[in-house]
Structures are given as C-alpha cells and as structure tokens.
C-alpha cells in the first residue's frame, strides 16, 4: 500500500500530518533528546564557558545513597498507591460493569470518572483541608464515634497515599470497567449453567479476561505516582521528600540542571522498563 500513493496524495498526507508531528517533535522529542545530552554535561553551556562532557551526574546517583533510597521510596509509594487503587477500584468497576444496568450505569460511570478530569492540584488541596488536625475528618469522626479520636493525618505518608489514590483511582476504574464491559454476559451465564459459583466466575473468567485492562490501569497509576512531586509537597510536608521532589529542586531551587536531567533520565529508564515488562500482557488486550 505504501508505494501506491500518488505524488498529490503524498503531498496532501505530508501537509495533513506535519503540523501535529512537527509540534510534537519540537515540544516533546527534541526536549527529551536535549535532556539526555544535558545529563552528560558538567555545566550549562550558557552559564559555563568551560562546559564539558561527563558521567559524573549519573555517578552522583550511585555514589550518594540518598538518591537510590529516594527512588526506592518513590517506587514503594507507587506500589502502595497502585495496590490501593486496584483493591478499591476493581470491585467498583465490577459492580458498575456487571451488576448495574442501563442509564444508571452510564450516569454512575460518568460520576466516577468526572473528578479525574478536573484539576488534580485543587483536589489535592481539598484533602489538605479535610485531613489537617482539628479538620473536617477529625471532627466528623468525633461526632460519629463515642470516644475521642486525635487524628492529624496531615503531613504524613498516609496523607500522601490518600491524596494520590484519590487522584488516580478513576484510571483503574476506567480501564477495568472498559475491559469488564467488553466481556459478553453469555460467558457468565454459560459458566453458571455449568455450576460455577460467583467466586469461580471471578477467578477463572472475569479476572483473566479483564487482566489487560486492570494492568493498563495499574501502569497508568504507577508511572505518574513515581514521578509525583506536587502531591508529596502539599500533603507530605517535611516528610514529603521523594524522588520527584528532588528532581523538582534541581530545576527550581538548586539550579543544577545537568544533575536534574540525569535523575530524570534514570526515572525515565525505570518507567520504560516497567512499560516493557507489562507490554506483552497489554498487547493481549487487542486479541
């Protein structure tokens, strides 16, 4: 097919495609390449006339145990948040896709994913109001429970996890729901006619068939959480130092861009590794 394009068609094709892809080239792909280049520099060319090429920025990551420790901390955060999102979100998607029918389902689904498309910064900020000591959550609990609770979750790791789960939960629900909804109800009826219990149907049918969707959701949560910096800053306070906040610091506080670029690229490598590991399962979703 490729060779069959006439010259006029080829011109039209190029003129239709080039604005979008040139834009992506200039705004995404060249910057990423530039960042790779910068990560090997001793200093910024515009500041430092004696700039040179070095591996020292990557060396710093391995010499200073703080960086690997923070990366590990961020990866753990990612695992916690992803785990909670799956535990909370998958059953929710299951209820939406297989137990609620008709217009109610559409409306509820929209309600679940709507907050996800609204401003995430503002949503994180709203948790700051809820979680602070003597805040709404503590007061509500004290009102409901007979005994006195002291609850100040603000500026703890729990606060960061809660905020991030709130931010990314709809991803898991969305992808799992779409995968579950695509499963023909006759399959469930067939399994029931053969005597399968609800648990068997979930374990042997629904879970395997929706796994690609669930995994896609998990990746979509895990990747940005590992690179998060705004959420830990607002909800984590002094404890909110993560790998993402260190990168942020290199660019807005310390101004060590080459180090920041190197740290970013290590993060990118981890992200790509995760995508590569999960892609065989994700590809199965198409077949």
Partner 1 sequence: MRRNFLGLLGKAWLALILVFLYAPILVMAAMSFNASPFYQLPFEFSGAWYQDMMANEQIFTAAARSVLIAAATTVLATAFGTSASIALFRYDFRGKRILQVLLFPPIAIPWLITGTAMLIFFFTIGIGRGTPAVLIGHVALALPYVIVTVSARLSSFDITLEEAARSMGASSWTVLRRVTLPWIAPGIVAGGLFAFAVSFDQFVVSYFLSKPGDTTLPVLIYTSIRKGFTPEINAVSTIIIVLSMAVMFLAARYSRFGGER
Partner 2 sequence: MSRVEVSNVTMEFGQTTALDDVSIAFEDGGFFALLGPSGSGKTTLLRTIAGFYFPKSGTIRIGDRNVESVPVEKRDIGMMFQNYALFPNMSVADNIGFGLRVRKVPAAEEKKRISEALDLVQLGALANRRPSQLSGGQRQRVALARAIVTNPKVLLLDEPLSALDKTLRVDMQIELKRIQREVGITTIFVTHDQEEALTLSDRIGILRNGRIVQAGPPREVYDRPVDEFTAGFLGEANWLSASLLEDLTLPAQVDGHRFGTRPEALRISADTPDAGQNAVRGQVRQRIFAGAMATCLIDVGGSQWKLIARDRDIPELPGDGQVWVSWSPEDTLVVRA
What residue 194 binds from partner 2, partner 1, none (CB within 5 to 8 A, per partner kind)? partner 2
For residues 117 and 124, what is the distance between their CA atoms, to the nearest angstrom? Answer: 13
254 binds partner 1 (CB under 8 A): no
Who's near 242: CB < 8 A, 6+ residues apart?
70, 73, 74, 77, 228, 229, 232, 236
Binding of partner 2 at residue 283 (CB under 8 A)? no
208 binds partner 2 (CB under 8 A): yes
Residue with tokens 């042997």: 204
User: Using the rule CB under 8 A, is 140 a contact of partner 2?
Assistant: no
Q: By CB under 8 A, tell whether 276 contacts partner 2.
A: no
- Dist CA 17 CA 8 (whole Å): 14
Among 49, 65, 117, 195, binds partner 1 (CB under 8 A): 117
Q: Which residue from 27, 194, 253, 276 is in contact with partner 2, where contact means CB under 8 A?
A: 194
**Per-residue contact string for residues 209-228; x = within reach of partner 2 by CB under 8 A:** x-------------------
Rounded least distance, CB 148 to partner 1, Å: 16
Judge contact between 71 and 268, C-beta under 8 A: no
Q: Select 157 or 216, whichever has its Cβ closest to partner 1.
A: 216
Distances (CA, A) of 285 to 30, 93, 212: 31, 17, 5
Q: Is residue 284 part of the contact set for partner 1 (CB under 8 A)?
A: no
Which residue, among 160, 144, 140, has the nearest Cα to 242 in the 3D structure? 160
User: CB 79: neighbour CB atoms within 10 A?
Assistant: 14
Applying CB under 8 A, among 113, 196, 220, 281 the residue interacting with partner 2 is 196
Q: Is there binding between residue 29 and partner 1 (CB under 8 A)?
A: yes
C-alpha–C-alpha distance, residues 274 and 287, integer Å: 22
Tallying the residues shown for the chain, one arrives at: 287
Per partner kind, with CB cut-offs from 5 to 8 A, the member of partner 2, partner 1, none near residue 126 is: partner 1
Site for partner 2 in 150-189 (CB under 8 A): 184, 186-187, 189
Q: Which residues contact 73 (CB under 8 A, 6 or more apart)?
A: 242, 243
Binding status of residue 195 toward partner 2 by CB under 8 A: yes
99 is an interface residue for partner 2 by CB under 8 A: no
Q: What are phi and psi of 182, to 5 degrees?
A: -75, -10
**Residues near partner 2 (CB under 8 A):** 184, 186-187, 189-197, 200, 204-205, 208-209, 287
């Amino acid at each position: 097919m490729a060779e069959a394009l006439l010259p006029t068609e080829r011109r039209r094709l190029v003129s239709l495609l080039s604005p979008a892809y040139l834009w992506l080239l200039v705004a995404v792909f060249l910057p990423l390449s530039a960042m790779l280049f910068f990560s090997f520099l001793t200093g910024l060319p515009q500041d430092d006339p004696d700039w040179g090429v070095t591996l020292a920025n990557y060396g710093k990551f391995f010499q200073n145990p703080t960086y690997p420790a923070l990366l590990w901390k961020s990866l753990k955060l990612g695992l916690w948040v992803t785990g909670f999102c799956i535990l909370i979100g998958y059953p929710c998607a299951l209820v939406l896709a297989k137990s609620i029918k008709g217009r109610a389902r559409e409306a509820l689904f929209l309600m679940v994913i709507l907050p996800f498309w609204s401003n995430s910064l503002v949503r994180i900020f709203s948790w700051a109001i809820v979680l602070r000591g003597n805040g709404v959550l503590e007061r509500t609990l004290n009102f409901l429970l007979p005994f006195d609770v002291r609850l100040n979750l603000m500026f703890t790791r729990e606060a960061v996890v809660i905020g991030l789960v709130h931010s990314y939960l709809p991803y898991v629900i969305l992808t799992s729901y779409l995968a579950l909804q695509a499963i023909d109800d006759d399959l469930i009826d067939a399994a029931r006619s053969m005597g399968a219990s609800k648990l068997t149907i979930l374990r042997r049918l629904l879970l395997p068939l929706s796994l690609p969707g669930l995994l896609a959701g998990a990746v979509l949560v895990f990747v940005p959480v590992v690179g998060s910096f705004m959420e830990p800053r607002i909800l984590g306070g002094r404890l909110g130092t993560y790998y993402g906040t260190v990168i942020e610091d290199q660019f807005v506080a310390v101004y060590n861009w080459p180090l920041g670029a190197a740290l970013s690229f290590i993060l990118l490598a981890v992200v790509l590794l995760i995508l590569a590991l999960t892609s065989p399962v994700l590809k199965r979703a198409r077949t």
